[in-house]
Amino acid sequence: MTQPFPFSAIVGQEQMKLALILTAIDPGLGGVLVFGDRGTGKSTAVRALAALLPPITAVSDCPVNSESRGDCPDWAEITSDNLVKRPTPVVDLPLGVTEDRVSGALDIERALTRGEKAFEPGLLAAANRGYLYIDEVNLLEDHIVDLLLDVAQSGVNAVEREGLSIRHPARFVLIGSGNPEEGELRPQLLDRFGLSVDIATPDSIDDRIEVIRRRDAFETDTKAFMTRWRRADGRIRKKIMTARDTLHQTEAPDDILRDCAALSLALGTDGLRGELTLMRAARAYAAFKAAARIDRSHLRNIAAMALSHRLRRDPLDEAGSTTRVNRVVKDLLG
């Protein structure tokens, strides 16, 4: 495993970094979609997040990272109560993956050698309580997408095949990245992502140079570079942990809820999922900023990432959907 680039050393791309941090604070937000051109650091940021996240406590032998022995699925035949700390799982879903590998299947080794019918957990089991990352999500094959949508919705992976009947919890944050030039995403899948950000190469020459300098420094002397950025990464991690604790005490005043509804209405987003995500994201953001209650400044900052992918297309508006959201936010919230 190669060392990931430190999260805090990523130049710019504030919206993407913020979106990733928000899902770390509130995993219920429902994932992040990062769309951007080639060479803008999409994959870098996601892999960096893995290193940044605080470790989780899990039963040592449990294939689905259960918190206590009672939560372990029966088929796993867990015998020890041993608890271990392990890094938050970030599971890569490769493009060519087969359905067997994703949902789990008959354990061929045991079937062949011992003639036993046993279940070999797949990627969904490994991603439980963590992250599932799909690079080039728009190129993923349809039957895998359907499978993922179903599991992401229910939080349970059910396998009924080859004489097996298995279920296990599969709660994960879905992170997708892709290049819009290579194909669009089905609206059903778009809607499942809580937040979405569009990223581009930084405009200013100085920023670009900084990116190149840091990347080059990282590649030539990884160890020194990691030491230099460890403190900054630690600070973000601490803020995430604090925000997780205060998340439930963060108030959502009535006028903010009214603002959320007004925003969704003005933008004509489909369904109530938009409003709900907007409110939850604003709460996570307020907690991250150590505020006791959500105010309009929080809404302003996260409205675009919570709503931009839920808009209906307006053929005459050439500005991107992010710009449209920001325009409406400015009209409504001042």
Partner 1 sequence: MSAPAASARYAARALAALSVDPIGLKGMVVQARVGPARTAFEAVLPRLPGPLRRIPPSVSDTQLFGGLNLAATLAENRPVRDPGLQQSAATIIVPMAERITPGLAARLSRILDDDSGHIMILLDEGADEDEAPPGALLDRLAFHVDLNDVPARGARFLLPAPADIADARGRLPQVAYHDDAAGKMTAIAARFGIDSLRAPLLALRTARALAALDHCDHVEEEHLREAAEMVFPSRARAFPAPDDPQTTDDPGTDGRTDDDESADPTTIPDEILVDAVAARLPHDLLEQNLRRERSRNRSGGNGAGARKIGNRRGRPLPSRPGKPDGRNRIDPVATLRVAAPWQRLRRRNDTAGRSVIIDPSDIRIRRFEERSDRLLIFAVDASGSSAAARLAEAKGAVELLLARAYAKRDQVALIAFRGQEANLLLPPTRSLVQGKRRLAALPGGGGTPLAAGLQAAASLMQVSRRQGMHPMLALLTDARANIGLDGTPGRAAAWSEARTLAGQIHALGLASVVVDISVRPGHQAEQLATDLGGDYLALPRADARRISRAVDTALDG
Distance CA 330, CA 326 (A): 6
Point out which span in 62-70, 88-96, 258-266, 284-292 binds partner 1 (CB under 8 A): 88-96
Any contact of residue 27 with partner 1 (CB under 8 A)?
Answer: no
**What tokens appear for 255 in the block?**
């006028």
Q: Number of residues in contact with partner 1, rule: CB under 8 A?
A: 45
Catalytic status, residue 273: yes
Position among 156, 212, 224, 292 found at the interface with partner 1 (CB under 8 A): 212
In this structure, what are the phi and psi dihedrals at residue 157, rounded to the nearest 5 degrees?
-105, 120
Helix (H, G, I), strand (E, B) or coil at 130: strand
Kindly tell me which of 62 and 211 has the beta carbon lying closer to partner 1.
Answer: 211
- The β-bridge partners of 83 are 59
**What tokens appear for 258 in the block?**
């009214």
Point out which span in 32-40, 51-59, 124-132, 145-153 binds partner 1 (CB under 8 A): 32-40
Position among 27, 41, 63, 122 found at the interface with partner 1 (CB under 8 A): 41
Considering the complex, what minimum distance in angstroms separates the CB of residue 101 from partner 1?
9
Any contact of residue 94 with partner 1 (CB under 8 A)?
Answer: yes
Kindly tell me which of 65 and 138 has the beta carbon lying closer to partner 1.
Answer: 138
Residue 269 · residue 309 · CB < 8 Å:
no
Position among 156, 209, 241, 319 found at the interface with partner 1 (CB under 8 A): 209
In terms of Cβ atoms closer than 10 Å to its own Cβ (0-12, 13-18, 19+), residue 1 is: exposed
Residues 6+ apart with CB under 8 A from 172: 91, 124, 127, 128, 129, 130, 131, 132, 152
Any contact of residue 115 with partner 1 (CB under 8 A)?
Answer: no
Distance CA 229, CA 226 (A): 5
List of residues contacting partner 1 (CB under 8 A): 2, 37-41, 43, 94-96, 98-100, 108-109, 112-113, 135-136, 138-139, 179, 181-184, 186, 200-201, 203-206, 208-209, 211-213, 215-216, 219-220, 315-316, 318
